[in-house]
Amino acid sequence: MSQSVFKVNSNIEIEIKHGVYQGVYHSRIEEIKDDVLEIAIPSKQGRLLPLPAGTWFIGKVIQGGSMYIFKSVIQHVSLQQNVPIWAIRQPQEVEKIQRREFVRMDVRLPVFVKIHVEDENFLAIEGKKYFAKELEVKEWEASTKDISGSGAKIITKFHIPEETVVSLSFQLSETDTFFTQAKIRRSELVNPDLGIYWIGVRFLGLTERERDKIVRFIFKKQAELRKRSLL
Residue 103 scores a pLDDT above 80: no
Instruction: Write out pLDDT tens, residues 10-47.
Output: 889 898 988 888 888 989 999 998 889 999 999 888 88
Q: Print the SS3 string covering the chain.
A: CHHHHCCCCCEEEEEECCCCCCEEEEEEEEEEECCEEEEECCEECCEECCCCCCCEEEEEEEECCEEEEEEEEEEEEEEECCEEEEEEECCCCCEEEEHHHHCCEECCCEEEEEEECCCCCEEEECCEEEEHHHHCCCCEEEEEEEECCCEEEEEECCCCCCCCEEEEEEEEECCEEEEEEEEEEEEEEEECCCCEEEEEEEEECCCHHHHHHHHHHHHHHHHHHHHCCCC
Q: What integer pLDDT is reported at residue 124 of this predicted model?
A: 82
pTM above 0.75? Answer: no
pLDDT mean over 196-207: 93
Domains and their CATH numbers in the chain: 2-99 (2.30.110.10), 103-227 (2.40.10.220)
Q: What percent of the chain has pLDDT over 70?
A: 94
